[in-house]
């Protein structure tokens, strides 16, 4: 059964890779920054409900992530996000950092790579919102590096309430992995420094794609 799920996952992720490549001229940058066979926390900006499908289509491994229960009730979209590793979570729980962190840490403990959107909610205008600190806490507690990813153009291609995307160019950029800081300093300071690096990297990637977005 697990083998069947894995095969189905790669069929669906491959479909979306081809779809977005042909329809949205999808361009992937920094693929060489993804460590081979290494568990990671992919931390991406979030501007569209299609973002998990885009990341799932281009990431060379399987990712798990949380998604609002309401998405699973949308025809086709609910099916696809489920196949691509989404775990349904009630809206009220998705807004409680403690619940999200517990679920994600359990997945990391199982050896899984996860996808997280540290802005907490979609940025409908495409601008990078202030990040929540949970991603740094997960990395420090688990020892798993954070892999920043930036999706450009999805807010224009897949606007809120739009079922069929527009043929707007989409880019996905992966940065170098950021490893938890080691050394004789407190966990609070480790989280703070890691958060600064993540914010700096995502902001820089956002500025880099803005003129072409």
Q: Tell me the average pLDDT across 169-186.
A: 92
The residues, ordered by sequence, that sit 6+ positions from 46 with a Cβ below 8 Å of its Cβ are 117, 119, 121, 122, 123, 151
- Asked if residue 182 lies in contact with residue 78, where contact means CB atoms within 8 angstroms, the answer is no
* pLDDT reading at 87 higher than 60: yes
List the beta bridge partners of residue 67: 88
* Residues of the domain holding 28: 2-212
**Percent of the chain's residues with pLDDT above 90:** 58
Once rounded to an integer, what is the mean pLDDT over residues 33-49? Answer: 94
CB 53 within 8 A of CB 16: yes
Model pLDDT for residues 165-177, shown as the tens digit of each residue? 899 999 999 999 9
What CATH code is carried by the domain that includes residue 85? 3.40.1130.10
Q: Which residue has the higher pLDDT, 1 or 211?
A: 211
Lowest mean pLDDT among 76-90, 103-117, 186-200: 76-90
The count of domains in the chain is 1
Confidence of residue 184 (pLDDT cuts 50, 70, 90): confident
Cα–Cα distance, 167 to 159 (Å, whole number): 12
Which residues are bridge partners to 146 per DSSP?
41, 178
Q: What is the pLDDT of residue 94?
A: 52
> Would the pTM of this model clear 0.85, i.e. be above it?
yes
User: CB under 8 Å to 141, separation ≥6 — which residues?
Assistant: 105, 187
Predicted confidence band of residue 122 (pLDDT cuts 50, 70, 90): confident
The answer, yes or no, to whether residue 212 has pLDDT greater than 60, is no
pLDDT exceeds 80 at position 92: no
């Amino acid at each position: 059964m697990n083998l069947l799920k894995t095969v189905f996952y790669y069929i669906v992720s491959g479909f979306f890779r081809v779809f977005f490549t042909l329809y949205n001229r999808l361009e992937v940058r920094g693929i060489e920054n993804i460590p081979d066979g290494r568990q990671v926390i992919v931390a991406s900006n979030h501007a569209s409900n299609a973002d998990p499908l885009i990341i799932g289509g281009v990431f060379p491994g399987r990712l798990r992530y949380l998604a609002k229960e309401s998405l699973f009730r949308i025809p086709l979209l609910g099916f696809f996000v489920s196949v691509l590793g989404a775990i349904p979570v009630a809206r009220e729980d998705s807004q409680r950092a403690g619940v999200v962190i517990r679920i994600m840490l359990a997945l990391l403990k199982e050896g899984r790579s996860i996808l997280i959107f540290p802005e907490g909610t979609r940025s409908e205008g495409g601008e990078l919102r202030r990040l929540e600190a949970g991603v740094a806490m997960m990395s420090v507690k688990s020892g798993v590096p954070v892999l920043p990813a930036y999706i450009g153009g999805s807010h224009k291609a897949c606007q809120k309430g739009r079922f069929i995307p527009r043929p707007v160019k989409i880019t996905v950029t992966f940065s170098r992995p950021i490893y938890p800081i080691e050394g004789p300093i407190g966990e609070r300071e480790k989280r703070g420094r890691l958060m600064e690096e993540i914010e700096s990297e995502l902001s820089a990637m956002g500025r880099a794609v803005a003129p072409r977005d």
